[in-house]
Structure 1
Amino acid sequence: MNKALLLVVVLATMVITAACANEGGSAEGSEGKNDEAVKLGFQVYGLRGEYATNLTNAMEAKAEELGVELVVMDGNYDVSTAISQLTNLETQQVDAIIVNPIDEEALNNTVNQIVENGTPVLGVNAFLTAEKLTTFVGSPDVIAGEEETKQMVEALNGKGNVVMLEGPIGQTGQVGRRKGIDNILAENPDIKLLAEQTANWSRAEALSTMENWIQTYGDDIDGVIAQNDEMAIGAINALNAQGMNDIPVVGVDGVKDALQAVKEGTMIATVFQNAQEQGETVIELAIKAAKGEEIDQKYEIPFELVTKENVDEYLE
């Protein structure tokens, strides 16, 4: 084959190859990465509670379904650990980071810097006030606090003494639910708040705190408002140990033990928070953010009140 003919063959091959690539499209698509190439990071404040575990499981299942890699880091309820893990995920060059923060402000500088460096950061379940946060997926905690407190007011016929178990002070779940609780208590001045203390979303801490309150206040306690179900169950265990089975207790999240307690009547209500929908939604949005697609700044998933009348729907 002479040189002229060889040149014609090479040029023709290049043209055909380019045409095929244009026709079939890039393996990564018009936005850059395809789903299989996306690597996501998830920094969760702690995995001792059922709700955080349910949320993480939903995220992992969705990531597997969509064929993306998800690196999960458990912050063990410690701010400094969370900051270190966020920095670690950035160093791993993940394409987007999802954070479930222990505090609404403590991670702001770290998150803002990561976003400035080019990695999108999405909040899930617990809000973060970082101004550069890419988006947030969660539920309106003020409404949850209002709903559970309305149930308590109704159970006590508008009069009585209550104690309140709070989440980690400064986390948006605690801040929002406390505001909602206070809103309803302000409208019902005959409901008195005897005591309030954080139990850090923990069943064990709530049990210990409730035991102390029983020793201090005894029969003066007419009801228990817990800002999540883990703490509500801890309080119920302490009350049952003292034969105080008729004290109404409310919580938030709709975890399995709480739903069963509502069915059995040991808990008057819970406010269901949809971990599966939050988890699936934030994974889908993280993939879009990683690929440079535009997303909204907030995605809100409603809470749902669960009482004995409708609890079977949630136990199915």
Structure 2
Amino acid sequence: MKKMKSLSTVLLLVCVMVFVCACGKSDAGSDTKTKEKGGKETYVIGCSWMDLTTQYQATLKSYVDKYCKENYADEVELVHMDGQSNSATQVSQMETLVSQGVDAILMVPYDRAGCAPGVDAAAEAGIPVIELCQETNSSNRSSFVGSNHKESGIQTMTRLAEEAKGKGKLVVLEGPTGQDCVIARGEGMQEVLDQNPDIEVIATKTCDWDRAKAMSAVENIIQSGLEFDIIFAQSDSMAMGALEALKGTQYEGKVMVGGIDCIADALQAIKDGTLVCTSFQNAPQQAEDGLKVALSAAKGEKIEELYDIPFELVDSSNCDEEKYDVEYAE
């Protein structure tokens, strides 16, 4: 009888130890992957932004935050990191997100080639990467959510060529060298120029999406004595800088300016008649779809390789449509 009692005691102790170990293992696992929040499983999504000082990127972030709060407040935790227009910084931040064991990464890469190692590092760790708005040349991304930037270059340059009746001297204002959308928008512009041989590019300036840099670049061109009729700006911020530079000069009201993105200032400039056109990049839709796809990937659900959100040409004929009136971050 004593032996039976001793055996029962031993078995009870073994069961208790197994239960304690199992509980400890469960808690440790939750620290590296999903967490518990309000009794529900929470997915941690890292957001790697190329540069939150640019208006479009800040706007994307604001809409991602908005949709997350409205729809996934009890299900998703966002971790934001700002690459500050530096590929090495962004790759390092991606590696940090990997070390934190996030469930998925939503990434707007600064550079097509320079940011690819960050995508590769995440993929090696089994973390899905959803590229948003811009692309890397990595084959290891899980999906791309965004728009065909070449199409935006075609749309804006086609409209400018029509306004110029196929003739004129063109100034080109570009974003940072090597960025996916800079390359693609330039290719789209060139495709239109190939069909309009009487439009001559007389100057190309890299202005890094910056309004002040674009203003300075156009001022310098004016002061140099170069004559021009058209300005193709790869972003609306640079287009607005160009318009500022034209004010009070012999070119004001005469030079045809077009941009891309459809920020609030550009939309108003079209309504005022100072900007010929822009190409609408749908920030709210990109943010919503990007977050949805990232969450699906985090859950291990099947996702598509591409979620295309088309650009739309905006000019005086349709600038009053409500869908273009987006709340852009300051």
Superposed displacement of residue 33, structure 1: 8.4
2:55 maps to what in 1? 50
**Corresponding residue to 1:281 among 279, 284, 289:** 289
1:157 maps to what in 2? 165
**Corresponding residue to 2:241 among 227, 234, 239:** 234
CA distance in structure 2 between the aligned counterparts of 1:33 and 1:295, rounded to whole angstroms: 23
- Given the superposition, is the C-alpha separation of residues 217 and 194 from structure 1 closer, same or farther in structure 2, using an over 3 Å criterion? farther
Superposed displacement of residue 39, structure 1: 0.8
The answer on 1:315 being equivalent to 2:320 is no
The answer on 1:298 being equivalent to 2:303 is no
CA distance in structure 2 between the aligned counterparts of 1:286 and 1:45, rounded to whole angstroms: 17
CA distance in structure 1 between the aligned counterparts of 2:85 and 2:55, rounded to whole angstroms: 14
2:44 maps to what in 1? 39
SS in 2 for 1:312: coil
CA distance in structure 1 between the aligned counterparts of 2:163 and 2:284, rounded to whole angstroms: 30
Q: Which stretch has the larger CA shift, 40-49 or 179-188?
A: 40-49
1:215 maps to what in 2? 223
- Alignment check: 8 A CA contact 1:254 1:270 kept: yes
Superposed, 1:80-229 pairs within 5 Å as 80-218=88-226, 220-229=227-236
- Alignment check: 8 A CA contact 1:44 1:100 kept: yes
SS in 1 for 2:260: strand
2:82 maps to what in 1? 74
Superposed displacement of residue 243, structure 1: 4.7
2:30 maps to what in 1? none
Q: Which stretch has the larger CA shift, 237-246 or 71-80?
A: 237-246
Paired AA for residue 112 in structure 1: D
Structure 1 runs of 4+ off > 3 angstroms?
32-36
SS in 1 for 2:242: helix
SS in 2 for 1:38: strand
CA distance in structure 2 between the aligned counterparts of 1:243 and 1:188, rounded to whole angstroms: 26
Superposed displacement of residue 36, structure 1: 5.0
SS in 2 for 1:165: strand
CA distance in structure 1 between the aligned counterparts of 2:108 and 2:325, rounded to whole angstroms: 26
- Alignment check: 8 A CA contact 2:90 2:118 kept: no
- Given the superposition, is the C-alpha separation of residues 241 and 76 from structure 1 closer, same or farther in structure 2, using an over 3 Å criterion? farther
Structure 2: which 5+ residue stretches go unaligned?
Answer: 6-33
- Alignment check: 8 A CA contact 1:33 1:291 kept: no
1:21 maps to what in 2? none
CA distance in structure 2 between the aligned counterparts of 1:108 and 1:73, rounded to whole angstroms: 17
- Alignment check: 8 A CA contact 1:38 1:95 kept: yes
CA distance in structure 2 between the aligned counterparts of 1:238 and 1:135, rounded to whole angstroms: 40
SS in 1 for 2:48: strand
Superposed displacement of residue 69, structure 1: 1.1
CA distance in structure 1 between the aligned counterparts of 2:56 and 2:262, rounded to whole angstroms: 8
Q: How many residues align?
A: 286
CA distance in structure 1 between the aligned counterparts of 2:155 and 2:286, rounded to whole angstroms: 20
Superposed displacement of residue 112, structure 1: 1.0
SS in 2 for 1:163: strand
Paired AA for residue 277 in structure 1: Q
Superposed displacement of residue 109, structure 1: 2.1
Structure 1: which 5+ residue stretches go unaligned?
Answer: 4-31
Superposed displacement of residue 227, structure 1: 0.5
Alignment deviations for residues 131-188 of structure 1 (CA, whole Å, 9 cap, x no partner): 1101000101111001100111111111110100011111111011000000000100
CA-atom RMSD in angstroms:
1.8
TM-score (norm 1): 0.87
Superposed displacement of residue 213, structure 1: 1.2
Identity of aligned residues (%): 39
1:16 maps to what in 2? none
Superposed displacement of residue 293, structure 1: 0.7
